[in-house]
A and B are shown apart, each in its own frame.
Chain A
């Protein structure tokens, strides 16, 4: 390791740390929806990454058709997220709803089938090209952090991540809807007995998850580029996030994202081709100590 004098200086580390935070923010955006759906519905949505990918492509198309100056990207992102919410309604209402009474392997396989179908829809609709949206104002340039340029769009991602963290925290811990969510995650039969329509709750949770997935897909378009295969790339990292943090736990997802984001950012410094492998090593280490993740609870 020839890190030595070359990169151990504080400014490089700080820069790496900040890009790790940006990555963690994006990971949290995607993984939070996954974790929320699992926590309440007890369905692990393999297709969550596909919703994220479809959201990115839909947003791209909306942006390209509307071409509104200045705020075009934000409008497209908003609409793209809404469209994905709609897709979420369709998936929950026509597929998942009919499977809650069945075993989890069938639920898992159904969401896996959606992965395959969405992959082909994207391939058919947009082809295999790399697409990108230029960075929107006012996040076009770069900010100098200790002399190193840091894309200001990353701050937008970090801000958005923070907003979603606060929003979810408020929703789950401060509202009546949140009380119901937490109660249903704990004992859905009891909640149902209290007269709360569980199917309705499930639909809204799934829609919320899909909406966040679409939103996070939309904001990746200016982040790097969007292409076929981005779904698998992100979902695998998200699984690492929720496994480390504990599936179904919001604080766990946040912590998991921060860990994975930082491990990735610093792993890339050591050995770029093994950055992902480092993440899984950390995951294995966590699992030895806590098989259900840091904030997870043993399954019933």
Chain B
């Protein structure tokens, strides 16, 4: 069922891309019409969307649930924060270093994880994620421990919210495009084949562990990039960026929006970020609300919002077809 719909998306990409162009224009003019408050939230939603997309490369396409993705997100953030505050390193190179470092650590962690499947993979990524968290949390002299690092400033020309918003938007848009190309490339098809039937894929001569390791490194690098681009905007980084609570957010976003659709996690993250900022206005009990939302989605909307919408639209079209055939 899924493969058929993906082919359908490919066929009519051009016909349907009008909404994407509209969306890009909307994002470009957003700073002109939005208040600073909402622009800040929009920045967060964009960065978190990139984070969720990196996670969904593994979850939606490769079929492996990583519960330690926040470690790479936080790692990217820490590398940038330390390079900028301690060495006054070039901002753009810092961003690249953040993504690169996350990818490198992803290579080491991934080496152990890709040999496992299912729950075992989830537990192992969680354990490694917590390991990285603990190292950063306890290594007070080097990382600032639970104080985190403050005063991470971007260069002068990126100090205003509007300017930085455009940076975030372009980084996220380009990254999303690259990820989109990856999942639609032969490499992406191989990942999907592994998800559907690992044995058969192996018989076709595809080295599963190697492919999954490459995907793991890519996902880690993009998660690191998301963290790297976020920290100078927020001006600080803290160990809480690496906890499993943070790792749970892209999981939830993917399930909320729909992991089988490329932009599903993005929709999920946008809903979560805006609901979060709204709820923080009157209560600090965000986790209980997040937990309740998760349970509601699992029970009411299996497959996510976009999947639900897709099913409804197809149903309607088929009904219309039947009605046409009868007249």
What is A's interface to B at a CB cutoff of 8 Å?
38, 44, 95, 98-99, 102, 104-106, 108-110, 112-117, 119-121, 123-124, 232, 236, 239-240, 242-243, 247, 273-274, 276-277, 280, 283-284, 287-288, 291-292, 299
The answer to whether B298 touches A287, judged by C-beta atoms less than 8 angstroms apart, is no
The answer to whether A110 touches B298, judged by C-beta atoms less than 8 angstroms apart, is yes
A287 nearest in chain B by CB position: B112
The answer to whether A239 touches B139, judged by C-beta atoms less than 8 angstroms apart, is no
Interface string of B282-301 (1 = CB under 8 A from A): 00010110111011001100
The residue from A105, A121, A274 contacting B255, defined by CB atoms under 8 A apart: A105
A-B contact pairs, 21 of them (CB 8 A): A109-B252, A113-B290, A113-B294, A113-B298, A114-B291, A116-B290, A116-B291, A117-B288, A117-B291, A119-B288, A124-B285, A242-B123, A243-B124, A247-B120, A247-B123, A273-B139, A273-B140, A274-B135, A277-B134, A288-B112, A291-B116
Q: For A274, list chain B residues within 8 Å (CB).
A: 135, 138
The answer to whether A116 touches B287, judged by C-beta atoms less than 8 angstroms apart, is yes
Given A110-B298, A276-B131, A277-B131, A117-B292 contact (CB < 8 Å)? yes
* B116-173, CB < 8 A from A: 116-120, 122-124, 126-128, 130-131, 134-135, 138-140
The answer to whether A95 touches B127, judged by C-beta atoms less than 8 angstroms apart, is no
Q: For A108, list chain B residues within 8 Å (CB).
A: 65, 67, 119, 122
Q: For B135, list chain A residues within 8 Å (CB).
A: 274, 277
The answer to whether A113 touches B302, judged by C-beta atoms less than 8 angstroms apart, is no
Q: For A119, list chain B residues within 8 Å (CB).
A: 287-288
The answer to whether A117 touches B122, judged by C-beta atoms less than 8 angstroms apart, is no
Q: For A247, list chain B residues within 8 Å (CB).
A: 119-120, 123
The answer to whether B244 touches A113, judged by C-beta atoms less than 8 angstroms apart, is no
B129 nearest in chain A by CB position: A236
The answer to whether A280 touches B298, judged by C-beta atoms less than 8 angstroms apart, is no
The distance from the CB of B253 to the nearest CB of chain A, in whole angstroms, is 11
- A108 and B255 CA atoms in complex are apart in Å by 12
Q: For A291, list chain B residues within 8 Å (CB).
A: 115-116, 120
Q: For B67, list chain A residues within 8 Å (CB).
A: 108
Q: List 5 additional contacts besides A117-B292, A236-B127, A299-B119; criterion CB under 8 Å.
A: A113-B291, A113-B294, A116-B291, A243-B123, A283-B127
- A121 and B123 CA atoms in complex are apart in Å by 25
Q: For B116, list chain A residues within 8 Å (CB).
A: 291-292
The answer to whether A99 touches B298, judged by C-beta atoms less than 8 angstroms apart, is yes
The answer to whether A276 touches B134, judged by C-beta atoms less than 8 angstroms apart, is yes
The distance from the CB of B259 to the nearest CB of chain A, in whole angstroms, is 8
For residue B191, CB closer than 8 A to chain A, the reply is no
For residue B243, CB closer than 8 A to chain A, the reply is yes
The distance from the CB of A156 to the nearest CB of chain B, in whole angstroms, is 29
- A43 and B132 CA atoms in complex are apart in Å by 26
- A178 and B243 CA atoms in complex are apart in Å by 37
For residue B62, CB closer than 8 A to chain A, the reply is no
A276 nearest in chain B by CB position: B134
The answer to whether B292 touches A113, judged by C-beta atoms less than 8 angstroms apart, is yes
A105 nearest in chain B by CB position: B65
The answer to whether B127 touches A240, judged by C-beta atoms less than 8 angstroms apart, is yes
Q: For A120, list chain B residues within 8 Å (CB).
A: 285, 287-288, 291
The distance from the CB of A151 to the nearest CB of chain B, in whole angstroms, is 25
The answer to whether B243 touches A116, judged by C-beta atoms less than 8 angstroms apart, is no
Interface string of B90-129 (1 = CB under 8 A from A): 0000000000000000000000100111111011101110
The distance from the CB of B71 to the nearest CB of chain A, in whole angstroms, is 12
3 shortest A-B CB distances, which residue pairs? A116-B291, A120-B288, A113-B294
The answer to whether B302 touches A102, judged by C-beta atoms less than 8 angstroms apart, is yes
- A105 and B287 CA atoms in complex are apart in Å by 19
- A288 and B116 CA atoms in complex are apart in Å by 11
The answer to whether A232 touches B255, judged by C-beta atoms less than 8 angstroms apart, is no
Q: For B112, list chain A residues within 8 Å (CB).
A: 284, 287-288
The answer to whether A44 touches B123, judged by C-beta atoms less than 8 angstroms apart, is yes
Q: For A292, list chain B residues within 8 Å (CB).
A: 116, 120
- A287 and B125 CA atoms in complex are apart in Å by 13
The distance from the CB of B130 to the nearest CB of chain A, in whole angstroms, is 5
The answer to whether B294 touches A110, judged by C-beta atoms less than 8 angstroms apart, is yes
* B233-255, CB < 8 A from A: 243-245, 248, 251-252, 255
B127 nearest in chain A by CB position: A239
A244 nearest in chain B by CB position: B127
- A52 and B316 CA atoms in complex are apart in Å by 49
Given A102-B302, A109-B252, A239-B126 contact (CB < 8 Å)? yes
Q: For B127, list chain A residues within 8 Å (CB).
A: 236, 239-240, 243, 280, 283
Q: For A242, list chain B residues within 8 Å (CB).
A: 123
The answer to whether B134 touches A109, judged by C-beta atoms less than 8 angstroms apart, is no
- A44 and B120 CA atoms in complex are apart in Å by 10
The answer to whether B120 touches A299, judged by C-beta atoms less than 8 angstroms apart, is yes
- A206 and B92 CA atoms in complex are apart in Å by 52
* B58-89, CB < 8 A from A: 59, 65, 67
- A102 and B300 CA atoms in complex are apart in Å by 13
- A116 and B67 CA atoms in complex are apart in Å by 15
A114 nearest in chain B by CB position: B291
- A239 and B243 CA atoms in complex are apart in Å by 15
